[in-house]
Amino acid sequence: MELLTGVVGPLATNVYLLADPATSEALAIDTATPSVDWLIANLERRGWRLKLVVSTHGHWDHIGDNAAVQEHTGAPIAVHPLDRDRLEHPRAEFAPFPIPPSVPAMELAEGGRIDLGALRLEVLHTPGHTEGSCCLLERESGILLSGDTLFKAGWGRTDLPGGSEEQMADSLARLARLAPEVGEGLRVLPGHGRPTTIGQERAWLDLVAREGRLIA
């Protein structure tokens, strides 16, 4: 697996480009504005073909270049159905620029899988930040693309439309339980900020799981 990260936009969104170099198939995650030029340049430089654009959720700072990337590459867009309307009718009241609508062609679903060459990414529905927030887990490589669910030393906001403290606590508890299956070294690649591991977040994640609520 090859993994590239770009940090873009006013909220420093992490845009990820994953590829299986053996097949030259690539996957873009959270194509925020402005990421289209960065993505196209890296695809062309490496001879990769973009197979899919995944939106981990539908907030404006993660979807702004969806339409542009699709136009340039022809790659379909995938999002959980509960966040589909956020892509088709962007709510961008706080965005400093227009957010064009985009039309998902695929649905992310709990228990679903995205095949990228030899890579197998499992879809985990992890609501709390939005109704349709999702994470992607690649067990063999030991990575979790967590969107705005899990950050280094924290979690995504729950006070925005579609957010829920109760659902976020449940989702974090679920992610805490991944380590026995995948290992404490499971790398967490969040939607904002620096990477971490489940092991590094273990103490407070276990506290959330035990208490069944978010801990201030």
**Residue-wise burial string across 113-126, b where 16 or more C-beta atoms lie within 10 A, e elsewhere:** ebebbebebebbbb
Burial environment of residue 190 by CB neighbours within 10 A (0 to 12, 13 to 18, 19 or more): buried
User: pLDDT grade, residue 93 (50/70/90)?
Assistant: confident
Region 33-38: what's the mean pLDDT? 98
Classify 90 as helix, strand or coil. coil
Is the predicted pLDDT of residue 179 greater than 80, yes or no? no
Please tell me the predicted confidence (pLDDT) of residue 123.
Answer: 98
- How far apart (Å, rounded) are the C-alpha atoms in residues 165 and 55? 21
Is the predicted pLDDT of residue 180 greater than 90, yes or no? no
Q: What is the pLDDT of residues 63-72, one digit of tens each?
A: 999 999 999 9
Contact indicator for 27, 17 with CB cutoff of 8 Å: yes
- How far apart (Å, rounded) are the C-alpha atoms in residues 136 and 145? 5
Question: With respect to CATH, is domain 2-211 assigned 3.60.15.10?
Answer: yes
Handedness of CA 11, 60, 152, 6 (dihedral sign): negative
Greater pLDDT, 82 or 183? 82
Please tell me the predicted confidence (pLDDT) of residue 183.
Answer: 67
Is the predicted pLDDT of residue 27 greater than 90, yes or no? yes
Segments making up each domain of the chain, as ranges = 2-211
For the chain, the average pLDDT equals: 96
User: pLDDT grade, residue 167 (50/70/90)?
Assistant: very high
Please tell me the predicted confidence (pLDDT) of residue 216.
Answer: 73
User: pLDDT grade, residue 94 (50/70/90)?
Assistant: confident
